[in-house]
Amino acid sequence: MKPFGKFSMNAVETYIPDRWLILKTKLENNVVYRVFASWFGGYTGSDSWRLNSGITHCKHEDNHYVFTGESGSIYRCRVGSYGAHSYGHSFLARIIKNSVDVEAEILPADTDWKNIEY
């Protein structure tokens, strides 16, 4: 059993989060969009989250948005699962609040993910 909806195909990590958000970060004139993925831990585990390296490409496939990251990792994010569990959302809110040099914002759910210039 692979933890956190993660599996590997040809050394490329693929993640399938329970919930996901897109975070837009800006440092000076450099804008980077990142997937903030979160998973529910269930009865025996704890909730977890992961922030990708930066999105380079997005495509719509079946009932998922498929985001490719700068590191080559792939995030298959279910349409309709946009958001985060309470642990992930509170952690992300702290990151945004405490950011000093980096501007960060969570993009709205109705964003057209395929038409952003990553």
Structural domain for 68, as ranges: 3-115
Above 80 in pLDDT, residue 81? yes
What's the average model confidence in pLDDT over 88-116?
90
The structure's pTM equals 0.85
User: When comparing pLDDT for 36 and 10, which is higher?
Assistant: 36
Give the pLDDT score at 15.
96
The total domain count for the chain is 1
Tell me which residue of 116, 114, 29, 118 sits closest to 77, measured CA to CA. 114
Range scoring the smallest mean pLDDT among 18-22, 44-48, 94-98: 44-48
DSSP letters spanning 45-112? S--EEEE-S-EEEEEEETTEEEEEETTS-EEEEETT-BS--HHHHHHHHHHHHH-SS-EEEEPPTT--
Above 50 in pLDDT, residue 57? yes
